[in-house]
Structure 1
Amino acid sequence: MQSSATCPPSTPTWSYWDYWGTQVTGFDLIEPHSDLTITASSLVETAPPEPPPPAPAWAEIREATVDSRLLEYLTPTGRTTVPDELVERARELSKGLDVHETAVAVSSMVADHVSYVPGATGVNTSTAEAWEQGAGVCQDIAHLVLGLLRGLGLPARYISGYLHPEREAELHRPVAGQSHAWVDYWAGDWTGYDPTNRVRVDESHVVVGRGRDYDDVTPHKGIYRGVPGGPPEVTVEFTRVA
């Protein structure tokens, strides 16, 4: 509904919509500084999920991917490339299933093997590494599911956002939230699924950006010159207003 991002005083900002449909705020800070605080605020409206659309036949999915925008979500990326043996396992698992059932089955296959363990992996951990160690974060689980769905011919995209931890939170009471990642797959329309929590995307999920993988929707990126510092500290806060 509305959003804003603020940087240090007197730092001009500008906004634009990128190729993937994500609103981006940019800025230049050329004055020497010892720390940098960026505050982003948004007023959003979420709603209970609509029932998934009727499952199209796999032949219809193949015909739809002639559309170049869907082809982009079928092509493997460096972050979503998975070992061939995993694709074959997913192919066996999905025999006789429609696209919705396939998305859920593949998500369960990944979540059964890769436990969600905060801090178990880093931002550059590959899908093969996360699978091999059997532990990762939502980013790893989403990348694995994307790679497998694409390997089966089902267009899928990476969603970066936030997850509200309390469905019935008290009005006007701030609640600590967390960054999160899940997937959309194409079933005649984009349909969201959260493989880490094994649920359909609902009113607890707040979308920030969509893309082929994490690299298309990084929360922040840019050029920094100076003495290396520590990793960024991030806090997420939700306040229900209605």
Structure 2
Amino acid sequence: MTSRLRIRHETRVGYPSPASSSYNEARMSPLTLPTQTVLDSRVTVSPAASQWTYWDYWGTQVTVFDLADPHTSLSLTATSLVETAPPSPLPVPLDRAEIAARSADSRLTEFLAATARTTVGPELAERARAAAAGLDAHQAATALTDLVRARLDYCRGTTGVHSGAQEAWDQQGGVCQDFAHLSVALLRAVGLPARYVSGYLHPAPDAAADGPVAGESHAWVEYWAGAWIGHDPTNGTHPGESHVIVARGREYGDVPPHKGVYRGAPGELPQVRVEFTRLA
């Protein structure tokens, strides 16, 4: 049975004095994949600006816009209508030795290398290898994400967008971004290619149809075991029809929903609001 979700993602940035210009990229358009079909997707900007789109190196649709006139605020709204399907049964994983061999001479190597946000110390890497010893890829991924979930408490304010995996482990807390970065780091430490997934998770799948529900953007992981397999370490589950994929990359830095630069005085932190409506 499929689900149909409408997602509205609003971002607003204010400036203490007019910004003379700004240059922006938005990664807020969901992907059409075997597990989800995008029926409609659009991005609107205020003040109004011309837009163009391109597909980046990681396969994400990017909306680009520039504001050349002075402005005291920037509002960005992405609205999508997506039909999602239940997950398929897990395929039989390749042997971990074969995964290593196939990863050695392909683009998969990009998802084995540590990045600034997915680096952990040798002691934690060794702990990951001990936890995954003798397990197949699916079992290893479950063991490692269970380790992450047992270590971290979900709490806001302990980390930021620049925080790394080791920091989240040491502080024993974070948000979904930290759960994902730490899981990616541990998966890579045991030789499983892993990537960071940015998207949305409907927070109340049993909500009444046509009833708007406040939510947030979400992050989880995918690991390669002959095919890419999703896992949501924050919730201890494989992604289902309540998950909507927007972007994938090595870490958050490859897939931020909105980034840009502007000329002017330092501004306030962005105000973000995400709303879900289940239509079917």
* TM-score bracket relative to the smaller structure: over 0.9
Summarize the Cα distance change of 1:10–1:143 in structure 2 as closer, same or farther, 3 Å threshold.
closer
Summarize the Cα distance change of 1:144–1:170 in structure 2 as closer, same or farther, 3 Å threshold.
same
Structure 1 counterpart of 2:244: 206
Cα distance in 2 for partners of 1:67, 1:235 equals 42
Are 2:47 and 2:75, in contact at CA under 8 Å, matched by a contact in 1? Answer: no
Does residue 70 of structure 1 match 2:108? yes
Structure 1 counterpart of 2:58: 20
After superposition, where does 1:173-188 map in structure 2 within 5 Å? 173-188=211-226
2:151 maps to amino acid: H
Structure 1 counterpart of 2:69: 31
Deviation at 1:168, TM superposition (A): 2.2
Cα distance in 2 for partners of 1:198, 1:130 equals 17
Cα distance in 1 for partners of 2:165, 2:61 equals 28
Structure 1 counterpart of 2:79: 41
Does residue 99 of structure 1 match 2:150? no
Deviation at 1:239, TM superposition (A): 1.1
User: Aligned with 2:139: secondary structure?
Assistant: helix
Does residue 189 of structure 1 match 2:227? yes
State the Cα deviation string for residues 5-33 of structure 1 (Å, max 9, x = none): 01125410111111101111010011111
Does residue 123 of structure 1 match 2:157? no
Does residue 155 of structure 1 match 2:193? yes
Q: What is the TM-score with the length of structure 2 in the denominator?
A: 0.84
Aligned Cα root-mean-square deviation (Å): 1.1
Deviation at 1:101, TM superposition (A): 0.6
Cα distance in 2 for partners of 1:185, 1:57 equals 14
1:130 maps to amino acid: A
Q: Which has the higher strand share?
A: 2
> Percent same amino acid among aligned pairs?
57
After superposition, where does 1:213-228 map in structure 2 within 5 Å? 213-228=251-266
Deviation at 1:139, TM superposition (A): 0.9
2:44 maps to amino acid: T
Structure 2 counterpart of 1:109: 147
Q: What is the TM-score with the length of structure 1 in the denominator?
A: 0.97
Q: What is the total number of aligned residue pairs between the two structures? A: 242
1:41 maps to amino acid: T
After superposition, where does 1:130-169 map in structure 2 within 5 Å? 130-169=168-207
Deviation at 1:138, TM superposition (A): 1.0
Cα distance in 2 for partners of 1:16, 1:3 equals 14
State the Cα deviation string for residues 131-171 of structure 1 (Å, max 9, x = none): 11111111111111111111111000000111101112222
Unaligned runs of 5+ in 2: 1-37
Runs of 4+ off more than 6 Å: none
Are 2:47 and 2:71, in contact at CA under 8 Å, matched by a contact in 1? Answer: no
Structure 2 counterpart of 1:241: 279
